[in-house]
A and B are shown apart, each in its own frame.
Chain A
Amino acid sequence: DGGITQSPKYLFRKEGQNVTLSCEQNLNHDAMYWYRQDPGQGLRLIYYSQIVNDFQKGDIAEGYSVSREKKESFPLTVTSAQKNPTAFYLCASSWALYNEQFFGPGTRLTVL
């Protein structure tokens, strides 16, 4: 089945630790995105990538890092510099920046 997978569904980490969230797609999409969702707020763009080996900061990139070494993978690292990392993280992909985005099931990160 074609789609976007995010793992794990729930993730717990201690404060001060870096953590990497996985996002994989087998839709052959060029563009991939990471969003953060907090209660009472809509999704906010963290990073996006139009093509392999290229990525751009979104609206709230501070404290996060990404890589795009393979077309199908776009991992997000939440670093210790992120002041409030507890949130729901959604990954998405699309054929190109101007096409419909398809979303993964999300990862709930809790920092203790």
Chain B
Amino acid sequence: AQTVTQSQPEMSVQEAETVTLSCTYDTSESDYYLFWYKQPPSRQMILVIRQEAYKQQNATENRFSVNFQKAAKSFSLKISDSQLGDAAMYFCAYRTQGGKLIFGQGTELSVKP
């Protein structure tokens, strides 16, 4: 069975600085998708970025980018120029070939002004 692990329950970053959130996963599937979701205090889940496993190029969305290491089964999220609005819980998720999403435990990010 697939598992997703986020080893950092909490992280903190200074406004305008860069922070990296870690995620590792375990799977025997060769083709899959990985996601980072943001859950602000409103608790609405928002998709931040997605990565297709067959693509070697790391995905980027404005200030958000990933470091995808398929062999190491690692999928970290880098947030550049952190803003106060980035403060939230961040979840790493794996989508199985059957279409199911498996989530990590989450990392709570705080941004200091």
Same assembly: yes
Give chain A's interface residues, CB within 8 Å of chain B: 31, 33, 40-45, 48, 58, 88, 90, 92, 96-98, 100-101, 103, 105-106
Q: Which of B40-48, B54-62, B64-72, B73-81 contacts the other chain? A: B40-48
Q: Closest chain B residue to A103 by CB distance?
A: B45
Chain B 92-113 near chain A by CB (<8 Å), digits 1 or 0: 0101001111011110000000
Chain A residues within 8 Å of B99, by CB: 31, 96-98
- In the complex, what's the smallest C-beta–C-beta distance from A47 to chain B, in angstroms? 11
Q: Which residues in chain B, 12-55, are within 8 Å of chain A measured between CB atoms?
A: 42-47, 50
Is the pair A43, B100 in contact by a Cβ cutoff of 8 Å?
Answer: no
Complex Cα spacing A40 to B108, Å: 10
**Which A residues lie within 8 Å of B47 (CB)?**
100
Please classify the interface of chain B as helix (H, G, I), strand (E, B), loop, or mixed, using the class held by over half of its residues: loop
**CB distance A43 to B43 under 8 Å?**
no
B105 contacts across to A, CB distance below 8 A: 40-42
- Flag if A90 contacts B4 (CB, 8 Å): no
A6 CA / B45 CA spacing, docked (Å): 13
Given contacts A42-B91, A48-B100, A106-B44, 16 further A-B contacts (CB under 8 A): A31-B99, A33-B101, A40-B9, A40-B105, A40-B106, A42-B4, A43-B45, A43-B103, A90-B45, A92-B45, A97-B100, A98-B95, A98-B99, A100-B50, A105-B42, A105-B44
